[in-house]
Amino acid sequence: MTINKHEDVIKYYDNYDEEHRLVKDRAHNIEYLTTMRYIQKFLKPGAKILEIGAATGRYSITLAKMGYDVTAVDLTPRYVEIMKCKSRRLKNFQCMVANALDLSMFKDNSFDLVLNFGPMYHLFNQKDKNKAVKETIRVAKKNGICMFAYISQAAMTINSGLKKHKMCNLISIMDKNGRIKDTPKEIFTSFYIEDFQKLFAKTGTKYITNVATDGISYTMKEYVQSLSKKDYKLFLDWHFITCERQDQQGYSTHLLYICKKLK
């Protein structure tokens, strides 16, 4: 990830309403509800938490309000300022501008839970991907939990190719196995699930699970939006039951890789 790419990412988010993305409709809210469900599943009393790529603090500030000691970092200065405004009364919350590739302001083995919720969307070479994973794991305590959000290749094909009628563009940057190649001129990158999991070889971690955080809700957004309140609740229950199944994961726009640091 070059300096120019950093600037491109910051410019993109300066003009994007990330503050309301996870709550603006049912389809987006499923990602938030599912992610919070898994965060809470692994939280322990008194846990110290770091969120990398915290945006405007949708997760971090919620966790601080629950009583946890939370530190949040983001690449976009405007988002950090928003977090500061939203957290003025929270003594157990701090935030700062930082890059996922350099968390040197934090010591090794500092946090019980480390959330990497955004940086992996924007890294376009193997060195940077490995560095972001390594830094996230480094600052986690032994037996600490690390969670990484990433974007699936199938969802990229559906949302950028089919829905936007840009299959020609996508095919031009695919390899013979249908894998979308890293394209630095773009803002977002995506992964085959097995390719993302390979990033954790020899990292001293134990795989826990992989979660389809929004499942088919983005792909079938119009249908999700049109459900009755009762049917939406039933759909949500079904999603929670099936979101770890491999056959439900490929078409989820956002995925969540969860692992434990062993040493």
Q: What is the CATH number of the domain that holds 116?
A: 3.40.50.150
- Contact (Cβ atoms closer than 8 angstroms) between residue 110 and residue 48: yes
Domain-located, residue 175: no
What CA–CA distance (Å, rounded) separates 14 from 244?
33
* Residue 32 pLDDT greater than 70, yes or no: yes
Tally of structural domains, the chain: 1
Domain-located, residue 109: yes
* Residue 2 pLDDT greater than 50, yes or no: no
Domain-located, residue 170: no
Q: What is the pLDDT of residues 223-245, one digit of tens each?
A: 999 999 999 999 999 999 999 99
Domain-located, residue 179: no
Please tell me the pTM assigned to this model.
0.94
User: By residue range, what is the domain housing residue 243?
Assistant: 3-152+185-261
Q: What is the pLDDT of residues 129-173, one digit of tens each?
A: 999 999 999 999 999 999 999 999 988 888 888 888 889 988 999
Domain-located, residue 178: no
Pair of tokens at residue 193: 């699930």
11-13-16 Cα angle (round to 5): 120
- Contact (Cβ atoms closer than 8 angstroms) between residue 247 and residue 255: no
Helix 3-14 vs helix 77-86: angle between axes, to the nearest 10 degrees?
Answer: 50
